Amino acid sequence: MIKITMDIVQIIAMAASIAIFVIVIELIRRSRLKERYSIIWLAASVVLIIFSSSRNLLNHIAIGIGIYYPPALLFILAIAFLLILLLHFSTVISMLSDNNDRLAQELGILKTRIKILEKKALIEDGNPPAETRR
């Protein structure tokens, strides 16, 4: 009974890993996920496929690095994956925030230039600017 349960768990793990891989590929194909963001997801799904298909590999790697409960290695890898993902998104958010600030400043400068040019155009046409007319 235990052997059958383990095989079912392994089959479910393989199916879930392959499903993640296929979903990422589909998101890339539909342009819903950029290629540069997809690399980390594809790498994670490949690692999951490898470990879910070969439990012995997971056991050997875990014991080789001093982890005596192999599923704990999966949790360590998951936490490392999430930390890398958070770091990556933090750098992207920082870059976008800087770009947003720069664009807001440029927009303010352009609006000021437009107002100045509109005032000059009105004065050249002989009409005083609206705020000086009463």
pLDDT digits (tens, 9 = 90+) for 35-63: 888 888 899 899 989 988 888 898 999 99
Q: In terms of C-beta distances under 8 Å and separation of at least 24 residues, what long-range contacts does 37-43 make, across chains too?
A: 37/88, 40/81, 40/84, 40/85, 40/88
With contact defined as beta carbons under 8 Å apart, do 10 and 52 qualify? yes
Model confidence pTM above 0.75: no
At 112 the pLDDT is 97
- Would you say residue 107 has pLDDT above 90? yes
Q: Does residue 131 surpass a pLDDT of 80?
A: no
Q: Look over the chain and give the mean of its residue pLDDT values, rounded to a whole number.
A: 88
Q: Tell me, what's the pLDDT at 7?
A: 80
